[in-house]
């Protein structure tokens, strides 16, 4: 029976004779019960602890109600649970699971930071803080893989890619980009892949103004990555992959001086178009003969120890005219042209999935602060949340969720109703007995040192 102080909704559903009463009257419950898995991952990596240690707290100690570490964790775990805005903090201040993620008593612990508190936190960071944050993020990711793989790494592939981040306000350095036809930022994302593993691990992110060269900030980022990777993996070869927007003479000279392998896309020009013309003719003859897409490869040398790989491809689609699709790469690798293109370069295309997960799953593009530095912090928080999910992905390989992406992992492992009970000796999370992903959840909990 509903009382005056408990709101309820009465529903009548076709086929069910009795009314259905919905009451929001469970005080110690949450819809993010599975988020404790992310807390366990964070404890294994030490990620948020390292990130928070990189920020200098300039507040007066006697007036601090929320430590920086708690504010950072609140943002990172909020993003991971699907709450991208600081405004969402007003809805979560008393959520028992989100209190537990910050190591507070889930029932009687202090309320979480409010939206104004989080906004002040985001806008208080400076350039030095951001530099240390980026360094701490890379250190946490690479150190965890050093512990996982040991000294047996022989090849590390660094993939670079940029994307547009449309802006809709008065953000600093939000400029109009004619290519994307919008006011935007152009964040740069770097990932690392170890040996022949399929997963690209995000290791760095740099927010950049909406216009400028595609290589802006690339050399500085690579220089720091090379130093860290060579210190942690001294026997590994380093290889850089990127699309045609990054291949300029300055970057090529930098990569040659750094003595790393590289394979970069190369934009076409009159001279390259002339070189590939004969190869395209052969591909057209093959396409006419077979009626299927035809591809030919060839290589030409530069004055330095570099090669241009040319791919002459004629695309055949039913009911459409054949289309020429020439492509060019520049590389210092000695392998056969077809091997360089299909096996060593095309794998970078999976970066599109990394960008999609960051944008659609973790709100990487929610850069709505007026200060550029605050938006860089938001970008790093999204990447930190993604690092937690990528670690969860790697530990979930033996489960039915082994190939799941961020939104699927969140839907099936994190978004589960829970009732929280606390006694003197322990905290008990009562999850639904009919939870469809119970076995996968328990398996992951055991991998993450649950007993």
| Whole-angstrom distance, CA of residue 409 vs CA of residue 342 | 31
The angle at the Cα of 119, spanning 116 to 121, to the nearest 5 degrees, equals 110
d(CA 286, CA 292): 8
Token pair belonging to 110:
């202090």
Q: What distance separates the 2 farthest-apart alpha carbons in the chain?
A: 86
Q: Which CA distances in Å does 398 have to 90, 389, 394, 411?
A: 38, 16, 9, 19
Report DSSP letters for 223-260, one per residue: HHHHHHHHHH-TT-EEEEEE-GGG--HHHHHHHHHHT-
Residue 77: how many CB atoms within 10 A of its CB?
26
First to last CA, the chain: 41
Per 3-state DSSP, the chain is made up of helix, strand and coil in percentages (nearest 5) of 45, 20, 35
Q: Mean pLDDT highest for which of 87-91, 349-353, 371-375, 438-442?
A: 371-375
Q: What percent of the chain has pLDDT over 70?
A: 86
Q: In 10 A of CB 101, how many CB atoms?
A: 26
As given in the structure block, the two tokens for residue 262 are 């590289």
80 closest CA partner among 391, 369, 331, 301: 391
What percent of the chain shows pLDDT beyond 90? 58
Average pLDDT, whole number, for the chain?
86
- For residues 250-256, give the mean pLDDT: 92
pLDDT tens per residue across span 308-345? 887 776 677 677 777 766 778 889 988 888 888 888 88
pLDDT of residue 230: 95
Total residue count of the chain as it appears in this document: 451
The counts of H helices and E strands in the chain are 16, 17
Over residues 364-374, the mean pLDDT reads 93
Among 96-100, 278-282, 378-382, 427-431, where is mean pLDDT lowest? Answer: 278-282
Lookup: tokens for 126: 């400076």
Report pTM. 0.89
Tell me how far apart the alpha carbons of residues 169 and 210 are, in angstroms, rounded to a whole number: 13
pLDDT band of 451, cuts 50, 70, 90: very low
CA triple 197-208-159, angle to 5 deg = 15
**C-alpha dihedral, 162 to 166 to 169 to 174, nearest 10°:** 30
Residue that is written with structure tokens 């040659």 in the block: 256
The per-residue pLDDT for 10 is: 72
CA-derived radius of gyration, the chain: 26
Q: CA 276 to CA 273: how far, in whole Å?
A: 5
């Amino acid at each position: 029976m509903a009382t005056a102080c408990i709101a309820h909704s009465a529903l009548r559903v076709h086929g069910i004779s009795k009314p259905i009463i919905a009451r929001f009257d469970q005080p110690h419950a949450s819809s993010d019960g599975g988020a404790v898995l992310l807390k366990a991952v964070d404890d294994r990596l030490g990620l948020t602890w390292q990130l928070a240690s990189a920020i200098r707290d300039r507040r007066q100690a006697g007036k601090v109600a929320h430590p920086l570490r708690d504010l950072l964790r609140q943002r990172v775990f909020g993003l991971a649970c699907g709450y991208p805005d600081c405004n969402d903090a007003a809805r979560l201040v008393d959520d028992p699971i989100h209190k537990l993620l910050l190591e507070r008593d889930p029932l009687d612990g202090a309320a979480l930071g409010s939206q104004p508190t989080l906004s002040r936190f985001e806008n208080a960071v400076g350039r030095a803080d951001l530099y240390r944050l980026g360094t701490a993020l890379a250190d946490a990711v690479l150190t965890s893989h050093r512990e996982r793989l040991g000294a047996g790494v022989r090849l590390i592939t660094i993939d670079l890619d940029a994307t547009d981040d449309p802006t809709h306000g008065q953000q600093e350095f939000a400029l109009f980009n004619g290519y994307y036809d919008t006011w935007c930022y152009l964040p740069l994302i770097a990932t690392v892949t170890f040996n022949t593993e399929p997963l690209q691990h995000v290791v760095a992110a740099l927010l950049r103004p909406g216009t400028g060269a595609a290589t802006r900030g690339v050399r500085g980022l690579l220089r720091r990555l090379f130093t860290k990777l060579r210190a942690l993996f001294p026997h590994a070869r380093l290889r850089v992959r990127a699309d045609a927007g990054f291949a300029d003479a300055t970057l090529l000279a930098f990569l040659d001086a750094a003595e790393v392998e590289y394979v970069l896309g190369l934009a076409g020009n009159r001279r390259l178009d002339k070189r590939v013309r004969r190869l395209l003719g052969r591909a057209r003859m093959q396409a006419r003969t077979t009626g299927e897409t035809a591809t030919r490869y060839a290589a030409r040398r530069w004055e330095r120890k570099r090669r241009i790989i040319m791919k002459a491809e004629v695309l055949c689609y039913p009911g459409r005219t054949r289309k020429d699709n020439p492509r060019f790469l520049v590389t210092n690798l000695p392998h056969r042209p077809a091997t360089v293109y299909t096996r060593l370069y095309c794998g970078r295309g999976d970066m599109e999935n990394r960008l999609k997960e960051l944008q659609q799953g973790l709100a990487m593009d929610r850069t709505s602060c007026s200060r550029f530095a605050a938006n860089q912090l938001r970008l790093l928080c999204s990447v930190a949340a993604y690092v937690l999910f990528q670690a969860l992905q790697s530990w979930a390989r033996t489960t039915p969720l082994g190939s799941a992406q961020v939104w699927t992992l969140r839907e099936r492992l994190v978004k589960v109703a829970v009732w929280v009970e606390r006694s003197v000796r322990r905290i008990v999370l009562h999850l639904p007995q009919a939870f469809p992903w119970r076995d996968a959840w328990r398996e992951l909990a055991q991998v993450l040192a649950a007993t």
